[in-house]
Structure formats: C-alpha cells, structure tokens
Amino acid sequence: MNSHFTPDNYQRKDKRSITSEKSERSDDLLKNQPRVKIWTVTLFQPKPRDRIIHYLVSSEKVLDTKKVAERMAELYGMNVYLYGSLFNFFEVYLETAVEFHVVERVTLQVLSEFDA
C-alpha cells in the first residue's frame, strides 16, 4: 500500500495570489498616511501602556512648531513644549506623563492635519 502525499499546487498558488492581492491593497491604503517616526529617550521599544513625558518626532517636511504645539496642547489637554531641531526633527515635552498609545494617536493625528 503506497500512500505518498501529493500537494495540490493549484490551491497553494491560489492562496499565494490572494495574500499578495491583500498586501497590495493594504499598501495602497497606507500610501496617504504620514510617515512619522517616534523615538523615546528612556524606552527603546515602548509598550502601549508605558507612560512617557518626552519624545522625539521625525516628519517628512518642515512644520511650524508653534502651530503643532498649540494643536497638540488642545488634544492632550495640557501644556506641550515643542523644540525644533535639524532635519525635520522636533522634541516634545509634555506637562504630565501619557501612555504611549495616546502619544502615537495624537502625534499621527496632528501630523496628518498639518501634512495635508
């Protein structure tokens, strides 16, 4: 009795094409998002619940730090101090510590408003 397994190549190729189509569609959705990088000084890979008070942001273009600070202050509901640096970097100091997932959400929202 010979029971060799023969893979179904058609089904495997079909699954690959479906996953590649999904990844292409998701890439199209992300093209309009601002490319932002957030660095924390104390934590190299912060978890969403980690609380931070100071972080660095890199944006694609030069932004008016005064307007960005005012908008962040509105969204955070506290004083925000923003200092511009070289190469489209700026430092953000918050009045009180905030969870990292809130920092990501607010920063992306503000940069997407000023990027448009």
Top-confidence residue, 31 or 8? 8
pLDDT tens string 48-105: 888 999 998 888 778 888 898 999 999 999 999 998 877 778 889 999 999 988 998 9
Q: Tell me what pLDDT residue 63 has.
A: 82
Going from N- to C-terminal start, the domains of the chain cover: 37-115
For residue 32, the 8-state DSSP code is T
- In single-letter form, the type of residue at position 56 comes to L
- List, edge to edge, every strand of the sheet that includes 80-84: 37-40, 51-58, 89-99, 80-84
CATH of domain 37-115: 3.30.1370
Confirm if 85 and 72 have CB atoms less than 8 A apart: no
Whether the per-residue pLDDT at 25 is higher than 80: the answer is: no
